[in-house]
Each structure stands twice: as structure tokens, then as C-alpha cells.
Amino acid sequence: MNGNARIVVGILALLVILGVALLIYTKLKEDVSVTPPPTPEPVVTEEPTPSYPLIRTIGSSVEGRPIEAYTYGTGGTHLLFIGGIHGGYEWNSVLLAYEFIDHLGDGTTVPPELTLTVIPSLNPDGVFKVVGKEGRFARADVPTGTDTSVGRFNANGIDLNRNFACKWQPESSWRGKTVSAGTEAFSEPEAKALRDLVTEIAPAAVVFWHSKANAVYASECTEGILPGTRTLMDTYATAASYPAVDTFDAYPVTGDAEGWLASIGIPAITVELSSHESIEFERNLLGFSALLEHYKTAK
């Protein structure tokens, strides 16, 4: 066999081998069922369910004490409740705010349409001047027979409820006395903390707890009482059996927080307890509950 013949035979042998291999492969492919690997299930990352209250520090006082806010619920309508803007002078308003914090518990009493935020003490330095404690305190911690008026002001000697941007003046009045209102509106860190929180949450209504005029007062700045403020006042006052009063006229007031809120279109009221010692939780719970009923359906 010459060389060309051997080449031809080799090629034919190779073709035979390839053909046999192809037949074997085809047979195996028919006989063997190949199961594709399972498609992996998509990984779903669930957002953690928040627990309530959500407690955060919204600012610090002049002396560095935290100003805390307790938030409950996730609804689209936000209501804000504030105690202790006058510190230890109105310590009962702080304890009332803590009573509401206890009442709200884990947030189960909050209608799904609402979010509630409670600031128990906007003036922790003023509370410390009288009570001698930071954070939560008890009625028994409040000394008896002492002048608590020193606790009305912050550590800079400023009346915080004269430090807001509604008809602000460097000096204002309180019970016939001249009080300092700061170097400008929002000069004090406590006032700034409230301003920044309001800007963030845009509350539908704000309630301040004070003492001791035994009434609920509307707020206004230069444009009169907002319609929403009148509804807010009447709803709370009627349910809690306080007189509803349009205007506080015992003495001139400038730079008050409620007036500033009115100036930016947010209804706000002042709830004055009947004394500097009473908490009046049950009475105020009726007003509080009436507001929740109103705002959960308000448009």
C-alpha cells in the first residue's frame, strides 16, 4: 500500500471513529434525562418592624442635657405634645407628659392614621435647678416650700417661651416682671431644637402643657386665630372640661412658641393645668383622646 492509500485509509478510519462516537453520544443523550439545577429562590430582605416608642435626642440644653422626644405610630398625620418649656417652675407639666408616655406604652393605642411625638421636657436645665435630677423624676423629688420660679428659665437666664419668632423682642414680660428673651429669636439651643423638629415632622397640631391658669388658650401671631387652632382648642377644652380662651391677656407676651407656630400655619394651643402641683392626667386624657378621634379622620 502506497503512501496515498495509507492516507485515505487513515482518513476513513478517523471518520468511522467519529461516526461511532457521535452515535454513542446521541444514544446517551436520549437515554439520560438531565435535570437542570433548581432556580434559586429570590432572597427577600424584610425591613425590621420598628418598636415603639422611638426615643431620640433632638437637641441639648445650654448645660448639655439631652432633650428627648418619644414617638409612637406611623400614620401620616403627626401630632406633637410638649411639656416643661418652663422647666422646674412648671414641673407638673413634665410629669403629665411622662404620664402620657406611660399611657402610650408600645404604641398600640395610637390610631393607624396618626403619629404622636411627646417631648416631656423642653427645658431640662430649668427642671434640674428645682428637682436636682436629670431625666425622669417623681413628685417626691420636688422640694416643698421652695421658690420654683428660678427653674422657669434656661441656664442662660432666658425665658424660652419668649425666644421664638413671633413678634420677638429682646425683653418681654412675665407677671409684671421683665424677662430676657435672648439675643435674637432662636438664640437658645432648646428653642432651636424645637424649631428643627417642627421643620422635620411638620405636625398637624401642637399642644403645650403649662400651669397654672386652668384654661386652654388659642395661639395667634399677627393674622388672628387659625381655623384649625380654634377647632383644636375647642375639641380639647370641651373634652377635658377646661374653659376655652381665645387670647391670653394677663400681661403682654412676645416671642412665644405657640405664636411662632401660628405664624407658620400650624395650629397650637396652650393647656394650663389648674395649679403648679396637680397632674390632672385623667382630665387631660379626655382632651388627648378627643384630639386623636378628631385628627384620625381629619382631611
pLDDT band at 128 (very low <50, low <70, confident <90, very high): very high
Q: Which of 267, 270, 272 is nearest to 229 (CA)?
A: 267
Answer yes or no: are the C-beta atoms of 59 and 192 closer than 8 Å: yes
| Nearest-angstrom CA–CA distance, 52 and 70 | 8
List, in order, residues 6 or more apart from 67 with CB less than 8 Å away. 57, 58, 59, 60, 61, 119, 121, 122, 124, 190, 193
CB 109 within 8 A of CB 290: no
Q: Give yes or no for residue 280 having a pLDDT over 80.
A: yes
Question: What is the pLDDT of the chain when averaged over all its residues?
Answer: 89
When pLDDT is averaged across residues 45-56 and rounded to a whole number, the result is 70
**pLDDT for the residue numbered 137:** 97
For 265, half-sphere exposure in the C-beta direction (CA atoms, 13 angstrom radius) is 2
Look at strands 244-245 and 177-180 and give their pairing. Answer: unpaired
Asked if residue 54 lies in contact with residue 70, where contact means CB atoms within 8 angstroms, the answer is yes
Which CATH number applies to 54-295? 3.40.630.10
At 146, is the pLDDT very low, low, confident or very high (cuts 50, 70, 90)?
A: confident
**pLDDT, mean of residues 262-285:** 97
Q: Which of 12-21, 61-70, 259-268 has the lowest mean pLDDT?
A: 12-21
pLDDT-based confidence at residue 85 (cuts at 50, 70, 90): very high
Q: What are phi and psi of 127, to 5 degrees?
A: -65, -45
Do 179 and 153 touch, CB atoms closer than 8 A?
Answer: yes
Q: Is the pLDDT of residue 183 over 70?
A: yes
Q: What is the pLDDT of residue 2?
A: 59
* Per-residue pLDDT tens digits for 221-251: 999 999 999 999 999 999 999 999 999 988 8
**Average pLDDT estimate for 51-64:** 93
What's the pLDDT score for residue 13?
57
Grid coordinates belonging to 168: 420677638
Beta bridge partners of 220: 225
| Domain residue ranges of the chain, discontinuous segments joined by + | 1-34, 54-295
Residue 294 in 3-state DSSP? helix
Residue 43: pLDDT above 90? no
User: For residue 111, is pLDDT > 50?
Assistant: yes
Sign of CA dihedral 57, 58, 61, 67: negative
95: left (phi over 0), alpha (psi -120 to 50) or beta: alpha
The pLDDT, as a whole number, for residue 4 is: 58
Task: Say what the pLDDT of residue 275 is.
Answer: 96
* pLDDT (mean) for 41-60: 73
CB neighbourhood size of 263 (10 A): 18
Residue 33 has a pLDDT of 47
What pLDDT sits at residue 106? 76
Determine the angle formed by the axes of helices 124-131 and 91-104, rounding to 10 degrees: 110
pLDDT of residue 158: 98
Look up residue 79 and give its three cell numbers: 401630632
- pLDDT at res. 145: 87
C-alpha cell of residue 175: 407677671
Q: 168-178: per-residue pLDDT in tens?
A: 999 999 998 99
Each residue's pLDDT tens digit, 10-41? 555 555 565 655 555 555 455 544 455 566 66
At residue 249, the pLDDT reads 87
Residues 276-283: what's their mean pLDDT? 97
**How remote is the C-alpha of 23 from its chain's centroid?**
76
